[in-house]
Amino acid sequence: MPDDKKIMDKIISLAKQRGFIFQSSEIYGGLKSAYDYGPLGVELKRNLMNEWWRSMVHEREDISGLDASIIMHPKVWEASGHLAGFSDPLVDCLISKERFRADKAPIPKVGDEINITCTDKGQAKEYQSAIEKRFNILLKREGKTLKGLKVIEERKVAFFEENKQTHSNIFDFPGYLSPTFNSPFLSDEKQFNLMFRSQIGSVDALGDIANYVNNNKDLDKDTLKKGIEKIVKDSAVYLRPETAQAMFVQFLNCQQSMSMKIPFGIAQMGKSFRNEITTEHYIFRSCEFEQMEMEFFIEPGTQKEWLKYWRDKRLNWWQSFSNYPENFNYRAHEKDELAHYADACYDIEYKYPWGYDELEGVASRTDYDLKKHAEHSGTKLSYFDQQKEDPETGKMGWRYTPYVIEPAAGATRGLLVYLIDAYHEETVKDAKGNDTTRVVMKLHPKLAPFKVAILPLIKKDGLPEIGRSLVKEFLKNGINVRYDEQHAIGKRYRRHDEVGTPYCLTIDGESKIDNCVTIRDRDTMKQERIPIKKAVEIVKTKLSNSNN
């Protein structure tokens, strides 16, 4: 990967141009943080998710799969804590428009001076005049800092003109500041649910809401809101914010139908939805994304060893498709970082252009989820091991609530990781011997959308016919192939370098005489002559060698 801060811009542009990722609804101006996976993106995403499924389900006897509804019973989210936990009060800074969680904002002490810290002098000038216009005070500008405010009571700040001991204006503020700029000029707190809410049933709640509002015109805003909330709640359903919960809810059905013995796992991949406060870094954090999660049910007390097992297994898996395995690592969560259900957790991280950040979480979720669902549903979610002694009674046969280790990966985030990992710029000579930049996506052959491209040198003299019959052979063998006869051969090589096609087969005038084609390797650009008859076999062997 080139050491280039603009790498993301380059990848975003290539992804659009070459059919990997498009902005959703682009012709209507686009929908913020929603993306469509184009003809090549869908192949890459599927290849990645199929590899995950193969390694988690098909190559193991102790894990089986699940494909659950995206919309589940609302009580699932009550039991899991998502309905409560996902309601974070949010606040907007009236000057910078920064939106943040009120419960995480910094709290100044009475007597503290407030320095509004901007990113540069230009922004300081801009915010100074915005504050003057809106609040009629002229803060003192020192470089990128705006000064003159002081906390005089828990929820009051005052403005002191330069060199004056007494204040001229007093403002109410909520007792905290915006985290980035230190601004006390904030909106009211707004309840913001990270889960997407919808209604089930064909009767529209709008009619009931209209009647309710019409009949209760005298109620204050908060009471009215609570009343409407009650009407909506009866038919409210949620788009799942994680795939995990279905595996807890279907624990018994999966275990009994497959006669699974602990330790065993249930795996699921698919869409999840979160009304993220901040969507960032392209598809890294979006509102609609895909996850690949597995819940591994274990005996209580064995969680430490299984956590390490899955941490290492998952890290190795990500590294196995990478050109730079050293860019992946893991990081243990600090105690105060742990989610409410976890007794330990590792993040598998990748070195993105903006630094190390999360790719997958491997959490030790204790027996929290099964116990919560048992409590809320009234169904016993436990496991009976006839061969084990009950540690409390000392008798054979032990019934317990299993503990859970959860490797939870982002498939769309993984796709971004491999686009970054694959992106290479190389200096090569063009046909005239001049230096030119070759962009090549060194995608692992297992992930590459096309495995081979068939390129007749010209569109006549029987070359397309040879090409088409080769395409048929590859398709018969289940190898994703692309026939391409547009533009000069050099341009076609570049096109396939940019989409990561590992091999190109070129048919030229000689092919009719010697029954051979030229195979070109994407990474080394080396070319060799091979018999047409053996082309499929040779590509197959090369692909399986690179897969090892």
Kindly list the residues in this chain that would bind ligand GAP in the complex (CB under 6 A): 242, 244, 274, 276, 285-286, 289, 291, 293, 358-361, 406, 408-410, 412-413
Find, among 413, 307, 411, 407, the residue nearest to 350 by Cα. 413
Give the Cα separation of 34 and 223 in Å (integer): 35
Specify which residues 237 forms β-bridges with: 198
Q: Which is nearer to ligand GAP, 162 or 334 (CB)?
A: 334
* The three-state (H, E, C) secondary structure of 394-420, written as one string: CCEEEEECCEEEEEEEEHHHHHHHHHH
Q: Rounded to the nearest whole angstrom, what is the least distance from the CB of residue 33 to ligand GAP in the complex?
A: 8
Q: Rounded to the nearest whole angstrom, what is the least distance from the CB of residue 483 to ligand GAP in the complex?
A: 35
Q: How far from chain centre, in Å, is Cα 193?
A: 19
What residue is closest to ligand GAP based on CB? 410
Q: Which is nearer to ligand GAP, 360 or 498 (CB)?
A: 360
Q: Which is nearer to ligand GAP, 409 or 535 (CB)?
A: 409
Q: Rounded to the nearest whole angstrom, what is the least distance from the CB of residue 282 to ligand GAP in the complex?
A: 10
Q: How far apart are the first and last CA of the chain?
A: 22
* CA angle centred on 122, ends 117 and 126, rounded to 5°: 80
**99-101 and 396-400 as β-strands: parallel, antiparallel, unpaired?**
unpaired
Give the Cα separation of 234 and 200 in Å (integer): 9
Helices then strands (H, E): number in the chain?
16, 28
Task: Tell me which amino acid residue 61 is.
Answer: E
Find, among 272, 284, 244, 290, the residue nearest to 413 by Cα. 284
Q: Which is nearer to ligand GAP, 218 or 334 (CB)?
A: 334
Q: Which is nearer to ligand GAP, 360 or 497 (CB)?
A: 360
Q: Rounded to the nearest whole angstrom, what is the least distance from the CB of residue 544 to ligand GAP in the complex?
A: 29
Which residues of 442-543 form beta strands (DSSP E)? 452-456, 481-483, 503-507, 516-521, 527-531
Q: Which is nearer to ligand GAP, 285 or 522 (CB)?
A: 285
Find, among 29, 474, 65, the residue nearest to 258 by Cα. 65
Q: How far from chain centre, in Å, is Cα 217?
A: 44
Three-state secondary structure call for residue 281: coil
Residue 263 backbone phi and psi in degrees, to 5: -85, 140
Radius of gyration of the chain (CA): 30
Q: Rounded to the nearest whole angstrom, what is the least distance from the CB of residue 308 to ligand GAP in the complex?
A: 18
CB atoms within 10 A of CB 532: 18
Q: Which is nearer to ligand GAP, 360 or 484 (CB)?
A: 360
Q: Which is nearer to ligand GAP, 274 or 451 (CB)?
A: 274
Give the Cα separation of 385 and 398 in Å (integer): 5
Q: Which is nearer to ligand GAP, 286 or 401 (CB)?
A: 286
Residue 493 backbone phi and psi in degrees, to 5: -60, -45
Q: Which is nearer to ligand GAP, 63 or 409 (CB)?
A: 409
Q: Which is nearer to ligand GAP, 217 or 340 (CB)?
A: 340
Q: Which is nearer to ligand GAP, 358 or 521 (CB)?
A: 358
Q: What is the DSSP string of 259-322?
A: T--SSEEEEEEEEEE---SS-BTTTTB-SEEEEEEEEEEE-TT-HHHHHHHHHHHHHHHHHHT-
Cis status, amide bond into 263, omega within 30 of 0? yes
Q: Rounded to the nearest whole angstrom, what is the least distance from the CB of residue 408 to ligand GAP in the complex?
A: 4
| Percent of the chain that is helix, strand, coil (3-state, to 5) | 35, 30, 35
Give the Cα separation of 190 and 102 in Å (integer): 9
Q: Rounded to the nearest whole angstrom, what is the least distance from the CB of residue 3 to ligand GAP in the complex?
A: 25
Q: Rounded to the nearest whole angstrom, what is the least distance from the CB of residue 284 to ligand GAP in the complex?
A: 6
Q: Rounded to the nearest whole angstrom, what is the least distance from the CB of residue 288 to ligand GAP in the complex?
A: 8
User: Would you mind telling me the total number of residues written for the chain in this entry?
Assistant: 548
Q: Rounded to the nearest whole angstrom, what is the least distance from the CB of residue 303 to ligand GAP in the complex?
A: 16
Q: Which two tokens stand for residue 297?
A: 């049910």
Q: Rounded to the nearest whole angstrom, what is the least distance from the CB of residue 227 to ligand GAP in the complex?
A: 32
Q: Which is nearer to ligand GAP, 410 or 502 (CB)?
A: 410
Specify which residues 202 forms β-bridges with: none
Tell me if 186 sits within 8 A of 174, measured CB to CB.
yes
Q: Which is nearer to ligand GAP, 274 or 522 (CB)?
A: 274
Give the Cα separation of 457 and 517 in Å (integer): 11
Q: Rounded to the nearest whole angstrom, what is the least distance from the CB of residue 97 to ligand GAP in the complex?
A: 21
H helical segments located in 456-517 = 463-476, 489-499, 511-514
Q: Rounded to the nearest whole angstrom, what is the least distance from the CB of residue 189 to ligand GAP in the complex?
A: 23
Q: Rounded to the nearest whole angstrom, what is the least distance from the CB of residue 410 to ligand GAP in the complex?
A: 2
Give the Cα separation of 145 and 525 in Å (integer): 54
